[in-house]
């Protein structure tokens, strides 16, 4: 597949990294020659320095025979014009644009992106994706990472193994026997910074970060098995009232759990806009690092604090300050992956990586065939791919134990009809089943081959 990626920032670079690693023909375009050079020096891609929306630049990038254009520059308008030029001048079949401004995303204007207007096939909103990720973190406060699959019936949980975990030093094979009614599977373990897919004889040790697939009804019990006590989130303090904070506060107002939220926003105009948009949420204008303001927001009585400003260091310090004032659970929005190792020492319970959520959203629309969802784990270390099994797939008609999966691949859940089941060695995979597969990044091409998804792409 020939793909042009416009924008060589964090998101564009990660997408290029994924696709070039799977032997696609990738060209990266950016107006910053240094970013283009970084991509061509570190990845197996071609690079063009220039403005992505210019027809001559797209022509040099190979748009005349490109299968897909991904517009992920920092400018919404450049992304939109890039898609328009790709369609009108070069007839590119598939166009994906990242749009940040909520003004472009209002549902009543959705006709704007029709083929006879502004032809964009897929619109990705980082703010909406991040807000959804934040709400998932709040729903599973003892998990450092979480993502929903199979239309909300299954959940991936990232759980830190601590000394209180009752299943420490227990072979995973025994967990299946001890909790035979629980529909969950340990699909990944990160130990000493290295992520791997565990064998049945492997044990969990204190300090491990494990990824567990669970049926949504079994999440509370699964968390208990791993030594976590479920907590209700009834009071939440949000530091940051921009697009992300406003989206989270609005969702909490609409939720049936009667969550009471307070928002702290430093920018006065932004705080006023948030106050106008929210009905029951109190908005305070001030600095999220101000102890007096945090006290006024009731952070010591809050169940969780979520720091989602546009500055990583402010988010980290706000989370640390909230924790020191007595808030038991704090989440920080972190763009820079090099800051993630500091989360544990600083006592920050969970983080949200906007880059990972945006990359996951884009990959969902790039993956071949009947792929329903893709979630990127860590710094592109692994993916969880949810896909429908086709009749052409080598998986169809086989038992899981008979399938020649690579070492870094495990099946997390299988949905047959409306029922999600725990996959066992004797579970038969049939045409039409939906399967969720955990795969280390190096094994993703083989997973796609097994799914035989490229046959009905486009």
Residue 209 pLDDT:
92
* Beta-sheet pairing, 434-440 with 409-416: antiparallel
- Residue burial 41-65, b: 16+ Cβ < 10 Å; e: rest: eebebbbbbbbbbbeebbeebbbee
Q: Are residues 97 and 61 in the same domain?
A: yes
The encoded tokens of residue 32 equal 């910053």
Q: Are residues 103 and 143 in the same domain?
A: no
Domain harbouring 256, CATH code: 3.40.50.720
Domain membership flag for residue 298: yes
Q: Are residues 304 and 245 in the same domain?
A: yes
Report the 3 state secondary structure along the chain: CEEEEECCCHHHHHHHHHHHHCCCEEEEEECCHHHHHHHHHHCCCEEEECCCCCHHHHHHCCHHHCCEEEECCCCHHHHHHHHHHHHHCCCCCEEEEECCCHHHCCHHHHHHHCCCCCCCCEEECHHHHHHHHHHHHHHCCCCCEEEEECCCCEEEEEEECCCCCCCCCCEHHHHHHHCCCCCEEEEEEEECCEEECCCCCCECCCCCEEEEEEEHHHHHHHHHHCCCCCCCCCEEEEECCCHHHHHHHHHHHHCCCCCEEEEEECCHHHHHHHHHHCCCCEEEECCCCCHHHHHHCCHHHCCEEEECCCCHHHHHHHHHHHHHCCCCCEEEECCCHHHHHHHHHHCCCEEECHHHHHHHHHHHHHCCCCEEEEEEECCCCEEEEEEECCCCCCCCCEEHHHCCCCCCEEEEEEEECCEEECCCCCCEECCCCEEEEEEEHHHHHHHHHHHCHHHHCC
Instruction: Report how far residue 280's alpha carbon sits from residue 282's, in angstroms, rounded to the nearest whole number.
Output: 7
Which of 225, 260, 276 is the endpoint of a domain? 225
Q: Are residues 304 and 411 in the same domain?
A: no
Q: Are residues 114 and 183 in the same domain?
A: no
Q: Are residues 244 and 162 in the same domain?
A: no
Instruction: Report how far residue 323's alpha carbon sits from residue 432's, in angstroms, rounded to the nearest whole number.
Output: 47
Domain membership flag for residue 339: yes
State the Rg of the chain over Cα.
23
Domain membership flag for residue 230: no
Domain membership flag for residue 68: yes
Q: Are residues 118 and 144 in the same domain?
A: no
Domain membership flag for residue 311: yes
Q: Are residues 179 and 219 in the same domain?
A: yes
Closest CA to 264 of 294, 291, 292: 294
Instruction: Report how far residue 333's alpha carbon sits from residue 312's, in angstroms, rounded to the nearest whole number.
Output: 7
Asked if 434 and 415 count as a contact pair (C-beta separation under 8 A), the reply is yes
Domain harbouring 416, CATH code: 3.30.70.1450
Residue 452 pLDDT:
66
- Tally of structural domains, the chain: 4
Q: Are residues 338 and 372 in the same domain?
A: no
Q: Mind listing the pLDDT tens digit of every residue in the chain (458 residues)?
A: 899 999 998 889 888 987 887 778 999 999 999 999 999 999 999 999 999 999 999 999 999 999 999 999 989 999 999 999 999 999 999 999 999 887 787 766 677 777 778 888 888 888 888 888 888 888 777 888 888 899 889 999 999 998 888 989 889 888 878 888 889 999 999 999 899 999 999 999 999 999 999 998 898 889 888 988 767 778 999 999 988 899 899 888 887 777 889 999 999 999 999 999 999 899 999 999 999 999 999 999 999 999 999 899 999 999 999 999 999 999 999 988 788 888 888 999 888 888 778 877 787 777 654 677 888 887 778 999 998 888 888 888 999 999 989 988 999 999 998 899 999 889 999 999 999 999 998 898 888 888 764 434 33
Residue 114 pLDDT:
77
Q: Are residues 448 and 396 in the same domain?
A: yes
Residue 454 pLDDT:
44
Instruction: Report how far residue 99's alpha carbon sits from residue 122's, in angstroms, rounded to the nearest whole number.
Output: 10
Residue that is written with structure tokens 């006592």 in the block:
347
pTM: 0.71
Q: Are residues 41 and 115 in the same domain?
A: yes
Q: Are residues 111 and 152 in the same domain?
A: no
The encoded tokens of residue 19 equal 């696709």
Which of 107, 124, 141 is the endpoint of a domain? 124
Residue 239 pLDDT:
96
Residues spanned by the domain of 332: 235-352
Which of 90, 124, 158 is the endpoint of a domain? 124
Asked if 149 and 384 count as a contact pair (C-beta separation under 8 A), the reply is yes
């Amino acid at each position: 597949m020939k793909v042009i990626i416009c924008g060589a920032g964090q998101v564009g670079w990660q997408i290029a990294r994924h696709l070039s690693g799977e032997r696609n023909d990738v060209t990266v375009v950016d107006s910053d020659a240094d970013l283009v050079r970084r991509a061509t020096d570190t990845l197996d891609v071609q690079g063009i320095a220039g403005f992505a929306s210019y027809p001559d630049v797209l022509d040099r990038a190979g748009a005349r025979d490109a299968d897909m254009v991904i517009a992920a520059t920092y400018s919404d308008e450049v992304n939109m014009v890039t898609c328009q030029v790709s369609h009108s001048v070069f007839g590119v079949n598939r166009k994906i644009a990242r749009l940040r401004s909520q003004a472009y995303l209002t549902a009543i204007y959705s006709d704007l992106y029709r083929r006879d207007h502004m032809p964009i096939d897929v619109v990705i909103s980082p703010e909406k994706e991040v807000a959804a990720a934040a709400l998932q973190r709040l729903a599973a406060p003892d998990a450092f990472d979480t993502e929903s699959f199979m239309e909300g019936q299954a959940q991936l949980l990232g759980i830190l193994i601590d000394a209180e975990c009752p299943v420490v030093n227990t072979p995973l094979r025994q967990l299946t026997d001890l909790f035979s009614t629980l529909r969950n599977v340990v699909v990944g373990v990160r130990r000493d910074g290295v992520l791997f897919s565990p064998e049945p004889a492997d044990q969990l040790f204190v300090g491990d970060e494990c990824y567990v697939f669970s049926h949504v009804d079994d999440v509370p019990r699964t968390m208990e098995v791993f030594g976590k006590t479920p907590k209700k989130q009834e009071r939440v303090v949000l530091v940051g009232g921009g697009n992300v904070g406003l989206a989270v506060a609005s969702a909490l107002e609409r939720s049936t759990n009667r969550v009471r939220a307070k928002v702290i926003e430093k920018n006065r105009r932004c705080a006023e806009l948030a106050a106008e948009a929210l009905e029951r949420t109190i908005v305070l204008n001030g600095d999220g690092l101000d102890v007096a303001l945090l006290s006024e927001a009731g952070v010591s009585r809050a169940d969780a604090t979520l720091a989602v400003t546009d500055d990583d260091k402010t988010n980290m310090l706000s989370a640390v300050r909230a924790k020191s004032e007595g808030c038991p659970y704090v989440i920080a929005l972190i763009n820079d992956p090099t800051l993630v190792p500091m989360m544990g020492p600083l006592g920050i319970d969970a983080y949200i990586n906007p880059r990972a959520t945006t990359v996951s959203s884009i990959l969902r629309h790039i993956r071949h065939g009947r792929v329903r969802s893709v979630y990127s784990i860590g710094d592109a270390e692994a993916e969880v791919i949810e896909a429908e099994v086709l009749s052409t797939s080598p998986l169809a008609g086989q038992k899981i134990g008979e399938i020649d999966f690579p070492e870094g691949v495990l099946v997390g859940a299988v949905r047959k009809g409306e029922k999600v089941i725990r996959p066992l060695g004797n579970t038969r995979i049939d045409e039409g089943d939906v399967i969720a597969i955990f795969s280390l990044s190096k094994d993703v091409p083989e997973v796609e081959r097994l799914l035989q998804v490229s046959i009905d792409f486009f």
